[in-house]
Chains A and B, each alone.
Chain A
Amino acid sequence: MLGRSIATFIAGLGTTAVILATSLTIPAQAQDYPTRPVRVITGYPAGGGGDMLIRHYATGLETETGQRYIVENRPGANGKIATDAVIAASPDGYTLFIFGSAGVAGNLFLLKEPGYDPTTDLITAATLTASGFFLTVGADSPFENMKALMDGLKSKSGTIKYGASTNVSIAASEEFLRAADLKATRVAYKTMGDAVRDVAAGQTDFLIADAAFAMAQAKEGRLRILAATTPERMPSAPEVPIMIEEGLADFIFTPRVFAWFPKDTPADIVEKTAAQLREIAASEETAKFLELNGAVPSLTASSVEAADVLKQDIEMWKRVTAAAGLEAQ
Chain B
Amino acid sequence: MDLIANLATGFSAALTFTNLGLCLIGVVLGTAIGVLPGIGPIATIAMLLPLTYGAPPLGALIMLAGIYYGAQYGGSTTAILVNMPGETASVVTCIDGYKMAQNGRAGAALSIAAIGSFVAGCVGTLVVAAFAPALAALSFHFLSPEYFSLMLFGLVASVVLAHGSIMKAVAMVFLGLLFGLVGTDVQSGVVRYAFGVTQLYDGIDFVPLSIGLFGIAEIMRNLDSPTAREGIRHRVGTLWPTREEISRSWPAVLRGTGLGSILGILPGGGSVLGSFGSYVLEKRISKHPEAFGNGAVEGVAGPEAANNAGAQTSFIPLLTLGVPSNPVMAIMVGALMIQGIAPGTAVINDHPTLFWGLVASMWIGNLMLVIANLPLVGVWVKLLQVPYRILFPIIIVLCCIGIYVTQMSSTMIVFAVGFAVLGYLFSKLDCEVAPFILAFVLGPLMEENLRRSMVLSDGDPTVFLSRPISLALILASVGLFVLIALPHVRSTRQQAFQDED
Contacts and interface: CB of A to CB of B under 8 A. Distances in A.
Interface in A7-59: 8-9, 45-49, 51-52, 55
Interface stretch (A145-153, A182-190, A242-250, A276-284): A182-190
A181 to B, nearest CB: 22
Contacts of A113: 196
Contact of B201 (A5, A80, A327): A80
B342 interface: yes
B344 A198 contact: no
Contacts of B143: 197-198, 201, 203
A81 B198 contact: yes
A4 interface: yes
A8 B408 CA distance: 14
Contacts of B63: 1
B338 A52 contact: yes
A72 interface: yes
A159 B458 contact: yes
B405 interface: yes
B337 interface: yes
Contacts of A188: 186-188, 448, 451-452
Interface string B186-202: 11111100001011011
A110 B236 CA distance: 57
A55 B51 CA distance: 13
A189 B452 contact: yes
Given A47-B46, A77-B202, A72 B408 contact: yes
Interface residues of B, number: 53
B328 to A, nearest CB: 12
A76 B199 contact: yes
A77 B198 contact: yes
Interface string A189-200: 111011001100
A47 B337 contact: yes
Range, interface on chain A: 35 or more
B334 A47 contact: yes
A9 B46 CA distance: 13
B368 to A, nearest CB: 16
A308 interface: no
A158 interface: yes
Contact of B334 (A46, A216, A292, A327): A46
Nearest to B445: A190
B335 A47 contact: yes
Interface in A162-195: 185-191, 193-194
B337 A216 contact: no
Contacts of A45: 334
Interface string A60-90: 0000000000001111111011001000000
Contacts, number: 129
Interface string A78-110: 101100100000000000000000000000001
Contacts of B49: 46-47
A213 interface: yes
A217 B344 CA distance: 7
B190 A329 contact: yes
Nearest to A52: B338
A327 B190 contact: yes
A319 interface: no
Contacts of A187: 452, 455-456
A244 B144 CA distance: 35
Contact of A81 (B48, B199, B344, B456): B199
Given A74-B407, A78-B201, A193 B323 contact: yes
A126 interface: no
A190 B340 contact: no
Contact of A47 (B140, B144, B331, B407): B331
Nearest to A185: B455
B124 interface: no
Contacts of A75: 202, 407
Contacts of B140: 197, 201
Interface string A292-329: 10000000000000000000000000000000001101
Nearest to B344: A216
A161 B455 CA distance: 9
Nearest to B322: A193
Given A212-B342, A216-B342, A329 B191 contact: yes
Nearest to B448: A190
B9 interface: no
B337 A76 contact: no
B272 interface: no
Contacts of B50: 5, 8, 46
A107 to B, nearest CB: 10
A219 interface: yes
A275 B25 CA distance: 43
Contacts of B342: 212-213, 215-216
A129 to B, nearest CB: 16
Given A74-B407, A201-B140, A203-B143, A84 B334 contact: no
B344 A220 contact: yes
Nearest to A73: B408
A52 B324 CA distance: 19
A220 B344 CA distance: 8
B455 A193 contact: no
A292 B340 contact: yes
Contacts of A326: 189
B100 interface: no
A326 B185 CA distance: 11
A204 B47 CA distance: 37
A215 B46 CA distance: 27
B427 interface: no
Given A46-B334, A193-B323, A197-B143, A5 B198 contact: no
B166 interface: no
A137 to B, nearest CB: 16
Contacts of A198: 143-144, 452, 456
Contacts of B409: 74, 76, 81
Interface in B312-360: 321-324, 331, 334-335, 337-338, 340, 342-346, 349
Nearest to B197: A77
A110 B198 CA distance: 13
Interface in A206-259: 212-213, 215-217, 219-220, 222
A325 to B, nearest CB: 9
Interface string B163-200: 00000000000000000000010111111000010110
29 contacts: A1-B25, A1-B48, A1-B51, A5-B48, A5-B50, A46-B49, A47-B46, A48-B334, A51-B334, A52-B337, A72-B408, A76-B199, A76-B201, A77-B199, A81-B198, A110-B189, A188-B187, A188-B188, A188-B452, A189-B186, A191-B323, A191-B324, A193-B323, A197-B140, A203-B456, A217-B322, A217-B344, A222-B345, A327-B188
Interface of B: 25, 29, 46-51, 53, 63, 139-140, 143-144, 184, 186-191, 196, 198-199, 201-202, 321-324, 331, 334-335, 337-338, 340, 342-346, 349, 401, 405, 407-409, 448, 451-452, 455-456, 458
Interface of A: 1-2, 4-5, 8-9, 45-49, 51-52, 55, 72-78, 80-81, 84, 110, 113, 158-159, 161, 185-191, 193-194, 197-198, 201, 203-204, 212-213, 215-217, 219-220, 222, 292, 326-327, 329
Given A76-B202, A188-B452, A329-B189, 14 more contacts: A4-B51, A5-B47, A5-B48, A47-B46, A51-B338, A158-B458, A197-B143, A198-B452, A201-B140, A201-B143, A203-B143, A220-B345, A220-B349, A326-B189
